[in-house]
Structure 1
Amino acid sequence: MGSFSVKRKHLYAQGFTLVEMVTVILILGILVVGVSSFIIFGTRMFVESSTVDQVLSQSRFALERMTRELRSALPNSVRLNGDNLTYQCIEFVPTEASTSYLAMPIAPSAAALSGTVMVDNLSSKLAVNQYAWIYPLTERDVYDAAAQKRAQINSMSTLANQMTLTFTANVRFADASPRQRIYFASAPVSYCVEKAPAANELTLTRYTGYGLVASQPAPKDMGSGVLMAQGIANALTSSADLPFILTPSSLVNNAMVQLQPRFNVNGETLQYRHQVQVINVP
Structure 2
Amino acid sequence: MRRAGGFTLIEMIVVIVLTGIVAGMVAVFLRAPVQAYVDSAARAELSDAADIAVRRIAREVRRALPNSVRVTGGGSTVEFFPTKSGGRYLAEEDDEGAGYLDFTDSTDLTFTVVGQMPSPAIVPGTDSIVVYNLGPGIDRADAYAGDNIALVSSVAGNVVTLASNPFASTGATAAVLSSPARRFQVVTGPVKFVCDLANRQLVRQWNYTPPSTAPATAILASNVTACRFAYDANIANTRSGLLGISLTLARPDMPAESVQLFHQIHVDNPI
TM over 0.5: yes
For the Cα contact (< 8 Å) 1:79–1:246, is it kept in 2? yes
Corresponding residue to 2:88 among 91, 100, 115: 100
C-alpha deviation, 1:111, in angstroms: 3.2
> Post-superposition shift, 1:20?
2.9
Distance in 2 between the 1:153 and 1:133 partners? 10
Kindly tell me: are residues 96 and 212 of structure 1, through their superposed partners in 2, closer, same or farther at Cα, counting changes over 3 Å?
farther
* Equivalent of 1:89 in 77, 82, 106: 77
Task: From 1, 12, 31, give the equivalent of 2:3.
Answer: 12
Write the distance in 2 (CA, Å) between the matches of 1:113 and 1:224: 31
Which range is displaced more, 136-145 or 88-97? 136-145
Deviation at residue 142 of structure 1 after TM alignment: 0.9
Change in CA separation of 1:270 and 1:11 when aligned onto 2, cut-off 3 Å: closer
1:275 aligns with 2:264: yes
8 Å contact kept, 1:143–1:212: no
Per the alignment, in what secondary structure is the counterpart of residue 33 of structure 1? Answer: helix
Q: SS in structure 2 opposite 1:99?
A: strand
Counterpart position of 1:169: 164
The CA RMSD measured in Å over matched residues stands at 2.7
TM-score normalized by structure 2?
A: 0.79
Partner in structure 2 of residue 112 of structure 1: 108
Contact 2:128 2:151 in 1 (8 A): yes
Counterpart position of 1:231: 223
User: Superposition pairs for residues 181-192 of structure 1, below 5 Å?
Assistant: 181-192=183-194
Counterpart residue number, 1:4? none
| Structure 2: runs of 5+ lacking an equivalent | 91-99, 169-175
Structure number with larger C-alpha Rg: 1
Is the alpha carbon distance of 1:96 and 1:251 closer, same or farther for their aligned partners in structure 2, counting shifts above 3 Å?
A: closer
Native 8 Å contact 1:111 1:172 kept in 2: no
Aligned to 2:229: 244
Q: Using the alignment, how far apart are the partners of 1:224 and 1:251 within structure 2? A: 30
Paired with 1:255 and 1:11, the residues of 2 have a C-alpha distance of: 94
Cα deviation code 1:159-210 (max 9, x no counterpart): xxxx11011235434221111111111021110111244xxxx311111122
Q: 2:122 is paired with a residue of what secondary structure?
A: coil
Counterpart of 1:80 in structure 2 is: 71
Q: Who is 1:7 aligned against?
A: none
Pair 1:62–1:13, CA change in 2 (3 A): closer
Q: 1:25 Cα shift? A: 2.0
1:18–1:127 distance in 2 versus 1, CA, 3 Å: closer
Amino acid at match of 1:143: Y
Instruction: State the partner residue of 1:153.
Output: 152
Aligned to 1:144: 145
1:113–1:167 CA contact under 8 A, matched in 2: yes
> Kindly tell me: are residues 17 and 270 of structure 1, through their superposed partners in 2, closer, same or farther at Cα, counting changes over 3 Å?
closer
The whole-number CA distance in structure 2 between the counterparts of 1:181 and 1:151 is: 14
For the structure 1 residues 27 and 233, does the alpha-carbon distance in structure 2 shift closer, same or farther, using more than 3 Å as the test? same
* Structure 1 position 114, deviation (Å): 1.0
Matched-pair contact (CA < 8 Å) for 2:50–2:261: no
Unaligned segments of structure 1, at least 5 residues: 1-9, 235-241
The alpha carbon displacement at 1:94 in A equals 0.6
- Displacement of 1:51 after TM fit? 2.2
- Correspondence list, 1:7-46, <5 A: 10-12=1-3, 14-17=5-8, 19-34=10-25, 44-46=35-37
Q: Aligned partners of 1:119 and 1:61: how far apart in 2?
A: 37
For normalisation by structure 1, the TM-score amounts to 0.76
**Does the 8 Å contact 1:80/1:89 carry over to 2?**
yes
Q: Compared with structure 1, are the counterparts of its residues 14 and 35 closer, same or farther at alpha carbon in structure 2 (3 Å cutoff)?
A: same
Distance (Å, rounded) in 2 between the aligned partners of 1:125 and 1:67? 24
